[in-house]
Structure 1
Amino acid sequence: MVFYVIRRILQAIPVLIGTTFLIYFLVFAMPGNPVQALFGDKTPNPALLAELEKQYHLNEPFIVQYLYYLRDVVTGNFGVSFSGQSVNDVLARTFPVTARLALMAVVIEMVVGVTIGLVAGLRKGKLFDLSSLVISLLFLSVPIFVICFIGQFFLGFKLGWFRTTVGADASIPNLILPAIVLASSLVAINIRLTRGSVIETLNNDFVRTAYSKGLSRRRVIPVHVLRNSLIPVTTQLGADFGILLVGATVTEGIFNVPGVGNTLYQAIIRGERPTVVSFVTVMVLLYLVVNIIIDLIYAVLDPRIRYVK
């Protein structure tokens, strides 16, 4: 197991370097002077402009700029935005909000999606199964921004169960409605995935053997069927959590959540290139870590999976 983890970490290093290089190139190799764009229509003082370019290494060749950035990332310094804010401080302020929102959405997805998918798989062809397929297809077909507005109108304005916008107070109670909206489309995918996995597992020989040995349905379903059916579901949950950590930009924007997605969008609008590059770099690193953790969970769910040297 230890050798497997080390190997995966070593494999992640070139992925991280290649991804950060591509992101840095796409952001900083674009035409135009990002510092000069901060002054808008005004003509900046040439001396001030030269000083700012020197401060952000914009007067250096592109590859030198990237090496400076890579050095700072290794030391845990993500630089300073053009507006003078430390990117580390911005991350420390916004990431916990997005992490809470992502965790809440994934928990809702896991509980609701796995439960409905399991029951639907066990009742294949019955009314519950057909209804779950129709409802999940409906949620998959509706764009997320439409679900946001529907949730705000009915659960916020009409029923008054939740706040319609989050604002600065991004506490757990205020994040419930955005989490439900985020989880709605993810739950639909999870239902269909769990249902298909359960149906496939029920047809395996080890399930029929378990029944033939006299094991009760109460024992076979959770231990043999559900546990083996959760492997593809776990992959989906891990991918969803990684994607949500990157930032649910549309949902955070509509609900005014001060998280990563909303901040990243605002940074793109303002042309804060250091903020954009640093945020995406951190998100890529987190996504790689989440994928390694998900691979390790496989061995817990299925004892047949072993990690060899």
Structure 2
Amino acid sequence: MVGYIVKRLLQVIPVFFGATLLIYFLVFAMPGDPILAMFGQRTPTESQLQALRDQYHLNEPFIVQYLLYMKGVFTGDMGQTFSGQDVSTVLARTLPVTGRLAVMAIAIEFCLSIIIGTASALRKGKALDNIMLIVSLIFVAMPVFVLAFLAQYFLAVQFGWFKPTVGSDNDWGGLWLPAIVLGVSLFATSMRLMRGSVIETLNQDWVRTAYSKGLSRGRVIPVHVLRNSLIPVITNSATNFGVLLVGATVTEGIFNVPGVGNTLYQAVIRHENATVVSFVTVFVILYVLVNLVVDLLYGLLDPRIRYAK
């Protein structure tokens, strides 16, 4: 297993350089002058423009800008935003907020998908199964901003169960409403994966053997069925976690969550290369590590899985 982990970690190196180079080029190629955009309606002097372009190395060719940025990364300097803040400071302020939101949303999605997916599979073709399939189709088809506005209006404004916006109250308790919206919007796919996996597992020989040995349903379902049905759901949840870490931009905007999504969106608009690339670089590394942990969980869930040396 150690060799497998080392091999997977070494794969981070080409992914790291490829992702940073691609994202840096995309931001560099965007039309418009980011320095002029900083002044809004004001008209800067040529000396001011030149000084700012020199400060942020915008007069240099693309490859020079990229190499200067990478030099800063390896020396612990991720650069500065156009407002003068260190990118590392902005990242340290926003990433924990989005991290909490992502963890809560994935936990809600995971619990709903396991409970509802298993219940639907055990009652295949019956009323509960048919109703849950229809509900899942509705949530798959419904845009997240529609669900967010509905939840905000009914759960926060009408019923008063939650605060309509997050703002500075972005601890675990303050993020429940956007987390519920994201979790419910994501659970439909995982639920259908869980349902299909449980149905397939119920038809396996070892399940019939377990019943033939006299094991009760309360023993067979959680030990022999659920454990071997979780891999598709875990894989999908890991993918969703990576997507949420990049920033649920729409949801964060609706609920005024001061997280990564809002910050990254504003950085793209302002052409802040250092901010965009630094954020994406951290997300790439986190995403690779999360998927490594998920791959290692496969061996615990299914003993038949072995890691190549």
TM-score range, shorter-chain basis?
over 0.9
Write out per-residue CA displacement over residues 5-37 of structure 1, whole angstroms, 9 at most, x where no aligned residue.
111111221122111111000001334432233
Write out per-residue CA displacement over residues 100-120 of structure 1, whole angstroms, 9 at most, x where no aligned residue.
111111111111111110111
| Letter matched to residue 249 of structure 1 | T
Structural mapping, 1:4-19, within 5 Å:
4-19=4-19
Other structure's SS at 1:96 match:
helix
| Letter matched to residue 305 of structure 1 | I
TM-score where L is the length of structure 2: 0.95
- Contact 2:37–2:270 (Cα < 8 Å) also in 1: no
| Letter matched to residue 171 of structure 2 | S
- Contact 1:82–1:274 (Cα < 8 Å) also in 2: no
Find the counterpart in structure 2 of residue 144 from structure 1.
144
Structure 2, gaps ≥5 residues long: none
| Letter matched to residue 176 of structure 2 | I
Residues 63 and 271 of structure 1: CA distance in aligned 2, closer, same or farther (over 3 Å): closer
122-131 vs 245-254, which moves further: 122-131
278-287 vs 36-45, which moves further: 36-45
Find the counterpart in structure 1 of residue 159 from structure 2.
159
2: distance between equivalents of 1:101 and 1:87? 21
Structural mapping, 1:187-266, within 5 Å:
187-266=187-266
Q: CA RMSD in A?
A: 1.5
Instruction: Give the total of aligned pairs.
Output: 309
- Contact 2:35–2:52 (Cα < 8 Å) also in 1: yes
Structural mapping, 1:77-88, within 5 Å:
77-88=77-88
Find the counterpart in structure 1 of residue 95 from structure 2.
95
2: distance between equivalents of 1:159 and 1:40? 41
2: distance between equivalents of 1:61 and 1:270? 19
Other structure's SS at 1:68 match:
helix
68-77 vs 82-91, which moves further: 68-77
Question: Does the alignment pair 1:118 with 2:114?
Answer: no
Structure 1, gaps ≥5 residues long: none
2: distance between equivalents of 1:248 and 1:28? 24
Write out per-residue CA displacement over residues 88-138 of structure 1, whole angstroms, 9 at most, x where no aligned residue.
111111111101111111111111111110111111111111111111111
Structural mapping, 1:127-138, within 5 Å:
127-138=127-138
Residues 59 and 139 of structure 1: CA distance in aligned 2, closer, same or farther (over 3 Å): same
108-117 vs 42-51, which moves further: 42-51
59-68 vs 32-41, which moves further: 32-41
- Contact 1:20–1:281 (Cα < 8 Å) also in 2: yes
1: distance between equivalents of 2:62 and 2:267? 21
- Contact 2:30–2:271 (Cα < 8 Å) also in 1: no
- Alpha-carbon offset, residue 49 of structure 1: 2.7
Give the fraction of aligned pairs with identical amino acids, expressed as a percent: 63
- Alpha-carbon offset, residue 200 of structure 1: 0.7
Find the counterpart in structure 2 of residue 104 from structure 1.
104
Residues 66 and 272 of structure 1: CA distance in aligned 2, closer, same or farther (over 3 Å): closer
209-218 vs 291-300, which moves further: 209-218
- Alpha-carbon offset, residue 267 of structure 1: 2.2
Structural mapping, 1:15-34, within 5 Å:
15-34=15-34
| Letter matched to residue 91 of structure 1 | L
1: distance between equivalents of 2:189 and 2:152? 23
- Contact 2:252–2:261 (Cα < 8 Å) also in 1: yes
2: distance between equivalents of 1:297 and 1:54? 49
Find the counterpart in structure 1 of residue 296 from structure 2.
296
| Letter matched to residue 146 of structure 2 | V
- Contact 2:27–2:271 (Cα < 8 Å) also in 1: no
Write out per-residue CA displacement over residues 129-155 of structure 1, whole angstroms, 9 at most, x where no aligned residue.
111111111111111111011101110
| Letter matched to residue 231 of structure 2 | I
Find the counterpart in structure 2 of residue 57 from structure 1.
57
